[in-house]
Each structure stands twice: as structure tokens, then as C-alpha cells.
Amino acid sequence: MKTILYVEDNEFNRKIVRQLLSRTSYRLIEATDGEAGVTTALESRPDLIIMDIQLPKLSGLEATRQLRTAPETADTPIIVITSFALAGDEQKARQAGAAAYLAKPYSPRELLGMIRELAPEA
């Protein structure tokens, strides 16, 4: 069973992913800010991380950078969710070490496709 970490401060958006994954074999763990996201990732060693770009305490980009340099999570694929949609957002996400990039508002269907691609269900 694959574990997915979703770092997002908005309860409704967490709920979407929670319900989206409820019918799948993925196990979801959640964190509500950047610092908690990094700590949880290092402790739980998930198979995939979904990281919102704008988070309290520590930005999603910075958290991604930290996770990339930590040996425990260096190879864990990370999907960065942005909402800025400014020129260069995708580039910034890739530079920070994201495996994929998805702009808010995303389609749950699309997100699920991306998850299955990066961490296929066992």
C-alpha cells in the first residue's frame, strides 16, 4: 500500500483529496503547514508528496527544497500545486525539485492521473 502526504492549509481542499483517494488503495496522511509537512515527510517516508505552494510557516517551494536535500526524501516524487500562475511559477517549482506541477484550480481527475503515474497503485 502506497502512502501519500498532502501538505495543504485549506480544509476543503484536503477533504477533496481525502475523498478522492478514499476509493483507492492509497493511504493519505496530511499536514497543514510547511514545517509540519517536512517533519511528517521525514518521519513517515511517504511514496509521494503533494505540496501546496503557499503555506503558513514555510513556503511550499522552500519545503520542497529541504526535502530534496534530506537523504530520507531525496528520491520521493513531489507534485507542487501553485495558484499564482505567474510566468516562471512552473520553472520555480521544477528548480526546487518538483517532479510535476499543477495549477490551482486543478481537476481532481487530473490530479489522480498524475498520482497514478508517479506512484502506481500496488
Partner 1 sequence: MNPNDSELRVGSTGPVPAATPGLGERLPRLLLAYWPLGPLVRRVARTRASVHSKLLGAFLLIALLLIAMGAMSLRSIATVAHQSRLLDQARERVDATRQIEHALGLQMNFMRNALLLRDDATIESMFRENNRFQKTFDHLEATAPPEQRETIRRLRTAQDNVMATVARIAGLIREDKADEAMDLHLSEGYPLYREIATLVTRAVRAEEAGMGQLREGVQATYRRALLLTGGFAVASIFLALGLGFVISWSFILPVREAEGFLGQVAKGDFSASIDVPNRDEFGALARQMNQMSRELHQLYDDQRRAALQLRALNAELEDASRAKSNFLASMSHELRTPMNAILGFTEMIRDGLYGEVPPDIQEPVSDIHTCGKQLLGLINNVLDLSKIEAGHMELAPTEYVVEDVVNTVKLSLRALAAGKGLELVTTVAPDLPLCLGDGKRITQCLMNLAGNALKFTAEGRVEIRVEQEGEHLRFAVADTGIGIPADQCEYIFEEFRQADATVTRDFGGTGLGLAITKKLVELHGGRIRVESEPGKGSTFFFTIPVRVTQEAPA
Positions that interact with partner 1 (CB under 8 A)? 10, 12-13, 15-16, 19-20, 23, 53-54, 83-88, 91, 104-109
Give CA–CA dist 13/122, Å, rounded: 25
Give min distance, CB of 83 to partner 1, in A.
4
Minimum CB separation of residue 17 from partner 1 in Å reads 9
Q: How many other CB atoms are found less than 10 A from the CB of residue 13?
A: 16
Closest by CA to 94, choosing from 111, 77, 107, is 77
CB of 72 to partner 1, least distance (A): 29
Whichever of 105 and 120 has its CB closer to partner 1, that residue is 105
For partner 1, the closer CB: 42 or 104: 104
Contacts of 87 by beta carbon, 8 Å cutoff, 6+ apart = none
SS3 108: helix
